[in-house]
Amino acid sequence: MDAEPIPTRDAGLDRLAAFLPRAGAAYAAGRNTDPGPERKGAVSQLSPWLRHRLLTEAEVARAAFAAHGEAAAKFIEEVGWRTYWKGWLEQRPGVYDLYRAGLRRAENRLATEEGLRRAFHDACAGRTGIDCFDSWAREIVARNYLHNHARMWFASIWIFTLRLPWELGADFFLRHLLDGDIASNTLSWRWVAGLHTPGKHYLARAENIARFTGGRFDPRGLLDEAAEPLTEAVRPGPALPPQFDPPPSGEVVLLLHEEDCAVETLDLAGCTVRAVAAVAMPEARARGGVAPA
């Protein structure tokens, strides 16, 4: 990340204002290139604020459109991926249960299979011998952020070259990413694996990595570029749409949590807020809790 993100709405608004001049054609042209953690890329790095709803997708998209009109389409489309993933998982909570069950199975294997345990620890510590992968593993741990294209390459190498259970990689991301989100993360890993769109997986290619890292890496000959997509026996179908209580009235206590810090968007007309409480349960997000930033 550019600088350690300050977890306030004001800091998010400052980051948005600084990024807005680049939210049009410059974003569309440069968003796939990862110039490395030391150099400024074309992406916004707004994800920690969006993830906790200190900024909302709607206001960020509106600001980009106001600044660039149609030229902001690519940026707005990307912001929309978050909205899509959240809604998709909300309607299919069983897919998250499936991930958690897979994670428990993978943890059991770690306890009993020494080779797998060693390979897993080497991957997390950046000791696989695949230069780009090792560098990204260290970057996530040190900076709690990774460029989108690097996340795709990383997840693909984890699954198809290192042959590690994808659930352990998703958990590694949730443990370290400041924007770690159960919908965007679980479903992006499933998408790379070929489980979200059955039969269609994302294979990292050495040529693509060399091109979009500006030649910083060239893992030619090190990647499995012919692996088959993962498959699964069952996929839970959509659940009934969630039912929402009507907005409260009278005296209320506000309970804030890390999924939604956008108090401004709550319908509090007719309410008198008597107290505000906050709860944070980062340990529920990842195996063993989240790592200190």
Ligand X SMILES: Cc1cc2nc3c(=O)[nH]c(=O)nc-3n(C[C@H](O)[C@H](O)[C@H](O)COP(=O)(O)OP(=O)(O)OC[C@H]3O[C@@H](n4cnc5c(N)ncnc54)[C@H](O)[C@@H]3O)c2cc1C
Stretch that binds ligand X, among 3-11, 44-52, 134-142, 269-277 (CB under 6 A): 44-52
Q: Cα–Cα distance between 226 and 203 in angstroms, integer?
A: 8
Q: Which is nearer to ligand X, 12 or 219 (CB)?
A: 12
Judged by CB under 6 A, the stretch of 87-95, 134-142, 172-180, 284-292 that binds ligand X is: 172-180
CB within 8 Å of 17: residues ≥ 6 apart: none
Tell which one of 54, 72, 124, 155 touches ligand X (CB under 6 A): 155
Q: Which two tokens stand for residue 187?
A: 């479903």
Residue from the set 28, 50, 106, 223 that interacts with ligand X by CB under 6 A: 50
What are the C-alpha distances in Å from 168 to residues 30, 68, 136, 212, 279? 30, 40, 16, 26, 26
Cα angle vertex 177, ends 173, 178, to 5°?
A: 155
**Under rule CB under 6 A, which residues in 188-207 are in contact with ligand X?**
188-189, 192
- Which residue is it, tokens 């443990």? 175
Q: Which one of the spans 131-139, 184-192, 214-222, 248-256 is the region binding ligand X (CB under 6 A)? A: 184-192
Name the minimum Å distance from CB 65 to ligand X: 14
End-to-end CA gap in the chain: 12
CA gap 153, 192 in Å, rounded: 9
Q: Note whether 144 binds ligand X by CB under 6 A.
A: no
Q: Applying CB under 6 A, which residues contact ligand X? A: 31, 43-47, 50-51, 78-79, 81-82, 85, 148, 151-152, 155, 173, 177, 179-181, 184-185, 188-189, 192
